[in-house]
Amino acid sequence: MRPLRPATRLLRAGRSDRGWVNTPVTRGGTFVFDYVENWRDTRARREHERPVSYGAQGTDSTHALEDASVELEGGIVPPFILPDRLRSQQ
């Protein structure tokens, strides 16, 4: 299989090989856990897994954005994407 052209890579970045063509937007600010222990466990797993954990960090939308960033910038480790309201106001 030949390498994908840049335009194709751009269109496919962050997209799964199956399922939705475009990742559904997940909006939320806080994820509710049944117990504090579940929350602590999830926070501990975030370094090695991608559990749903917080509206700004642990959603399908943010994971797709991280995957696209890795694909387009040639990174090895997924970045940690955080919204920055100050930047958006500049």
Q: Round to whole Å and give the CA distance between 4 and 84.
A: 32
- Residue-range domain boundaries for the chain: 6-81
Q: Which helix (H) or strand (E) holds 60?
A: helix 60-73
pLDDT in tens, the chain (90 residues): 788 888 888 888 877 777 777 787 877 777 888 999 998 998 888 878 888 777 667 788 888 888 888 888 877 766 666 666 545 454
Q: Round to whole Å and give the CA distance between 21 and 23.
A: 7
